[in-house]
Each structure stands twice: as C-alpha cells, then as structure tokens.
Structure 1
C-alpha cells in the first residue's frame, strides 16, 4: 500500500481516534490529523509485520484499519499525557 493511501487512512483514523479517546478535546483538528497519520503509519507497519498484509488489498483489510485507529489512539493518549491534558474536571481554581 502506498504512502498516499496511508495518509488518507491516517486522516480518517485521527478523527476516529479523537472520538474514541476519553476526555476533553483540547487539541486542534490539525494535531489530530498529524497524530492520525503517524498512527496509521505505525499501525500500517504493525499490520504488515504481524498480520502479513501486503499490496493494495491492505487498504480494505479490517486489521489495517483497526491497527491504524489503535495506533492513532495510542499516540493521542501519549500526546495528552505529555502535554498534561487530563480527562474530567479540574479541581482547584475557578
């Protein structure tokens, strides 16, 4: 599967991962897209190595989509942890 297909998959995976990750959506849509693309590339690598998905059929394979969305969700959670954004309400200042 080509890099353009992984980027397209990443855009969709970023939006889906943003919906799946709990908490406030304090990051912008651009960051979600970038993390989605990176997660899709990571998920694509995992899908290729673990599930042995090769060729153009990989884009329409369920395991590729699941790995791309999970990769984007993991990167989004990591981003939220690094930047200090937490789910729920802040206690303290008003």
Structure 2
C-alpha cells in the first residue's frame, strides 16, 4: 500500500507537470495542485482509455497507452480548471 501511494505521488507530479508544460499560459497552481491534477488526470485518462480501448491486462501494469491517457486526462482537467477559474476575478 505504501509503494502504491509513493508511485501515485511520483507519477502524479510528473503527469501534472507535463500537462502544465504543454498547455501555455500562466497558472498560479502550486506543487499540491500539480500533484492533484496529475493524479485526477490519471484517473480520467485511465477511465477514458478503458472505455475507448477496453481492458488489456496482458500487457502489464504500466502501458504506453496508460501514460499517454494520463497526460491527456491531466491536460483536459487543466483546461477545465482554467476555464472555471477564468470566470472569477480576484480582488486586489
């Protein structure tokens, strides 16, 4: 269980950072937000990959489609977060 959480934390930061690098524009999100974005994006990407391509458990736990799906899911969530935050303005 501890290894799962460490791997989830590690890949969450990587996928969230990749999504933030691929989507241009300023984003005042900290490291915790980046991690949450990556983890949630991995779930979204994994779910969409399962729905579109079906389960393929014979290829092992880490698959290239899962990695790409996680990055795409993180990008989609980042765009959603930015569109929701874009409507609100902070008072100075």
Structure 2: 5+ residue runs without aligned partners? 88-92
After the TM superposition, list the runs of 4 or more consecutive aligned residues in structure 1 that deviate by more than 6 angstroms: none
Q: Distance in 1 between matches of 2:75 and 2:17?
A: 10
Number of aligned residue pairs: 81
Give 1:33 deviation, angstroms.
0.9
* TM-score, reference length from structure 2: 0.72
Q: Distance in 2 between matches of 1:78 and 1:54?
A: 29
Partner of 1:71: 73
Q: Distance in 2 between matches of 1:41 and 1:83?
A: 22
Structure 1: 5+ residue runs without aligned partners? 86-94
* TM-score, reference length from structure 1: 0.71
Higher helix content, 1 or 2: 2
Partner of 2:32: 30
